[in-house]
Amino acid sequence: MSDIRLIMLGSAIIFAGFVVGGITGSQYLQYAIQAGQFDDCFDYSSGIAVKVKCDQKEQDKVMLLALSLGLIGGGVIILVKGIRGKWDQ
């Protein structure tokens, strides 16, 4: 017998992982393009060009990817446990 609470929780966590990866990960796209084309990275969000470290932005992007994949992986584990229905044994 499956446990609907774990299935719903796993689905919500997987959705949160995709939201974190999709919405917040898109802000690092400009830095990835700048790092590939040029040696320097600039932040244009304030209206003027502010020099930022490309390495720091790449590290932030990797940490965000790890968080997103962790949420998705944890959601899949919870989802499978909910489908199997043997989570309390």
Low pLDDT (below 50) residues in the chain: none
Summarize pLDDT for 60-75 with one digit per residue, the tens: 889 999 999 999 999 9
pTM: 0.79
Q: Is the dihedral of CA 62, 68, 71, 73 positive or negative?
A: negative
Which pLDDT score is estimated for 70? 96
Secondary-structure percent of the chain, ordered helix, strand, coil, rounded to 5: 75, 5, 20
Q: How far is CA 18 from the centre of its chain?
A: 6
Which pLDDT score is estimated for 88? 60
Which pLDDT score is estimated for 10? 93
